[in-house]
Amino acid sequence: MHEYLAENDPHALDALNHFLNSSIYQNNALEECYKEMILACICVAAGSSQPVIANHCKKAMAAGLSREAMLQGLEIVTAVMTTRTMASGVMALMEADGS
C-alpha cells in the first residue's frame, strides 16, 4: 500500500504517515510496550499479515512487555473476535428460524 501511494498519491501517503506518527508515536500517554501490544492485537483483529503482527510483538517485548502479557493480549482479542463471530452466526440463525 505504501509503495502504491508513494507512486500514485504521495500527498495521501504523507497525510497517512503524519496521522499515524502523531496518533501513535508522538503521543506518550501510553508506555511503548503497551502501544505495541495494542498495535499487535488490533492487527490480529484487522487481519494483518503475520510479519506485521510479529514485528509489533517483537517491539512490545523489546520495550519491556513480558511474553505472558503479550500472549494474554492476543488471547483477549481472540476471545472477543470469537464471541462476535459466534454472535453473528447465532443471530442469523435466530432470524432464519423466526426466533
**Model confidence pLDDT, tens digit, residues 28-75:** 889 999 999 999 999 999 999 999 999 999 999 999 999 999 999 999
Q: Please check whether residues 24 and 56 belong to one and the same domain.
A: no
Q: Is the pTM of this model over 0.85?
A: no
Angle between helices 50-62 and 32-46 (to 10 degrees): 160
Q: Please check whether residues 16 and 47 belong to one and the same domain.
A: no
How does the average pLDDT of the chain come out, rounded?
Answer: 94
Q: Please check whether residues 95 and 55 belong to one and the same domain.
A: yes
Look up the domain containing 14 and give its range: 1-29
Q: Please check whether residues 22 and 51 belong to one and the same domain.
A: no
Does 99 have pLDDT greater than 80? no
> How many whole angstroms separate alpha carbon 15 and alpha carbon 29?
22
Cell match 517491539: residue? 59
